[in-house]
A = this chain, B = another copy of it.
């Protein structure tokens, strides 16, 4: 699962990374920093897996006010 700061939301970590890279003379016009969360689930059903991950995001893994979540399934699902 990829968790990104939403468009228009301040991303201080991305600003810091972008600034540091430009100071190192890398031609970076924008940098955004998010999280990668990789989970192994017991279910092998894609619909169930997606529903579980959406509940995990709502309860723990992401802040829907400021973050957007992209769910990618792989393996046996």
Contacts and interface: CB of A to CB of B under 8 A. Distances in A.
15 contacts: A2-B36, A3-B36, A4-B38, A18-B39, A21-B56, A24-B56, A26-B55, A27-B42, A27-B43, A28-B41, A28-B56, A29-B42, A31-B39, A31-B40, A34-B37
Interface residues of A, number: 33
Given A17-B61, A21-B60, A60-B21, A39 B28 contact: yes
Count this chain's copies in the assembly: 2
Kindly name the residue among A2, A17, A24 whose own CB sees the greatest number of chain B CB atoms within 10 A. A17
Contacts of A18: 39
Interface of A: 2-4, 14, 17-18, 20-21, 24, 26-43, 52, 55-56, 59-61
